[in-house]
Amino acid sequence: MAIFFLIVQLGFLFLIIFMTLAFLTGAPYVPSSPKAASAMIRLAKCRRGMTVYDLGSGDGKLLILAAATGARAVGIEINPYLLVYSLIRAWLSPYRRQIRVIWRSFWSCRLTDADIVFLYLVPWRMERLEKHLIKKLKPGTVIVSNSFMFPTIPKIAADAENHIYAYRIPDSS
C-alpha cells in the first residue's frame, strides 16, 4: 500500500512540475492533430536539403514528419519531460540521423540556418514572436503556424480547414 501512495505522490509531483513549466513558459503542451501536422508539412513544402526548426517541439511529431521528407529537423523544447519524450521518439524513428532536439528557450536560439520554422504557440505571444523572428530569420524563410496568425507578416498560404497559416519573411529592403 505504501508503494501505491508513493507512486501517486510521484505522479502528482510530475503533474505539478509539468503544469508549472507550462505556466512559466507561457505555452501549454497541446500537440498538433495528425491532420494539422500533415497540413503544416504540406504548406511548408519540406524537402531534402532544407533545415526545419520546430519552436516548442513538444512530442517531436513534426520533426519526424519533416525528416521523412529528407529535411534536417531541429526541435527546440524547454520542457525537460517533452524533450526526453521527443528524443526517444526521434531515436526510435528511421530518421534519427536527421533529427536533433535542443533543450532551450527558442527566444535564445540562433535560427539563421532555418529554411522553415514551425510553431504552435498562444495568441498573446504572436506579436512579440513576429518581431523576434523578423530579426532572427533570413529573408525567404517560411514560417508555418498552427491556429494563430501573425499581425503583419504577409500570409503566403493557408489551410482553412485545419487552421494552418504559412508566411514568408520579407526582404529587408
| DSSP letter for each residue of 3-54 | HHHHHHHHHHHHHHHHHHHHHHHT----PPPHHHHHHHHHHHT--TT-EEEE
**pLDDT, position 159:** 96
Tens-digit pLDDT profile for the chain (173 aa)? 778 767 767 766 666 766 666 555 556 778 899 999 999 999 999 999 999 999 999 999 999 999 999 999 999 999 888 999 999 999 999 999 999 999 999 999 999 999 999 999 888 888 999 999 999 999 999 999 999 999 999 999 999 999 999 999 998 74
Phi, psi of 71 (to 5 degrees): -75, 160
Query: Exposed/middle/buried for 144, CB within 10 Å: 0-12, 13-18, 19+?
Result: buried
- For the entire predicted model, the pTM comes to 0.86
- Per-residue buried b or exposed e for 62-89, using 16+ beta carbons within 10 Å of the residue's own CB: bbbbbbebebbbbbbbbbeebbebbbeb
Domains of the chain and any CATH numbers: 32-168 (3.40.50.150)
**pLDDT, position 9:** 79
The grid coordinates of residue 8 equal 501517486
Q: Which residue has the cell 524537402?
A: 47
CA 152, 160, 140, 134 torsion: positive or negative? positive
**pLDDT, position 148:** 92
**pLDDT, position 81:** 87
Hey, which residues does 54 pair with through a beta bridge? 75, 118
Residue 137, sorted as left (phi over 0), alpha (psi -120 to 50) or beta, turns out to be: beta
Cα distance between residue 156 and residue 144, in whole Å:
10
**Residue pair 21/79 in contact by the 8 Å Cβ criterion:** yes
**3-class DSSP state for residue 58?**
coil
Closest CA to 79 of 104, 55, 96, 60: 104
**pLDDT, position 6:** 72
